[in-house]
Amino acid sequence: MTQRIALLALLCLALAAVPAAAQVQRDIYNNGPINGTTDAWTINFGYVVSDTFTFTDLTGYFVDQFSFGVWEFPGDTMTSVDWSITSGENSGTVFGSGTASVNNGNLTDKFISTNQFGYNIDEITASHLSITGLTNGATYWLNLQNAVVPSGNPVFWDENSGAGCRGAGCPSMASESTVGTIASEAFTIDEYVETTPEPGSIVLFGSGILGLTGVLRRKRF
């Protein structure tokens, strides 16, 4: 009976300690936090706003999502936005593009605060993008346009002027389609990577297997 209890305990220990790889999300570019108090640029009514980024630590399978700050009129919630990642300012090689939308299940609009001008400051996240072909060291452009809110009001991409930027090439170079160069915008880019087991988990797993083997040998002989 004692041996059976010990066998069961060791089996549970071994199974619980099985080293398993898992995909986790990781912030690989951060153009600075959402500011919400200085300025912002329209990303609908035909205007395109673009900002640059450079990877130095891209290791995963693909870039999966990006987030950015917006100014919206009170009561508005973004339902969709067109995006692209290109080799030039809204031009050149297209590495990924599409429409992130609530209906597609790949856009979320998170309220953060109301600024001194009465605008709502929100964080927009476009996810499930699976962008491949990007490399470390190259400069890319994130382009946003055709943002939609049900009221039809303007939507503005938050400007942070590079404050708090933690990415390569900061402060980044940004541009608005009708006025040219503008200050840096607030956004982050994330990838999915496959994690490897921690050494402690591997040791625990091995200990469980060895203990299980010992119990089985004593029972057999």
pTM confidence score: 0.79
- pLDDT at res. 3: 54
Judged against a pLDDT cut of 70, whether residue 9 lies above it is answered with no
Instruction: Tell me the per-residue pLDDT of 182-209, one tens digit each, with 9 for 90 and over.
Output: 999 999 999 876 655 555 554 444 454 4
- Measured distance CA(84)–CA(143) in Å, rounded: 5
Q: Are strands 49-54 and 139-148 parallel, antiparallel or unpaired?
A: antiparallel
- 40 versus 165: which is more confidently predicted? 40
Instruction: Tell me the per-residue pLDDT of 116-165, one tens digit each, with 9 for 90 and over.
Output: 999 999 999 999 999 999 999 999 999 999 999 999 999 999 999 999 98
- Measured distance CA(45)–CA(82) in Å, rounded: 12
Cis? peptide before 150, omega within 30° of 0: no
Task: HSE, CB side, 13 Å, CA atoms: give it for residue 45.
Answer: 9
- Measured distance CA(8)–CA(15) in Å, rounded: 11
- Measured distance CA(71)–CA(119) in Å, rounded: 6
Residue 177 to residues 9, 41, 130, Cα–Cα distance (Å)? 65, 10, 27
User: Helix or strand or coil: residue 3?
Assistant: helix
pLDDT band at 71 (very low <50, low <70, confident <90, very high): very high
Instruction: Tell me the per-residue pLDDT of 89-108, one tens digit each, with 9 for 90 and over.
Output: 999 999 999 999 999 999 99
- pLDDT at res. 19: 52
- pLDDT at res. 167: 84
Residue 195: its H or E element = strand 187-195
User: Helix or strand or coil: residue 205?
Assistant: helix
Q: Give the list of residues 6+ apart from residue 45 with CB closer than 8 angstroms, or none.
A: 154
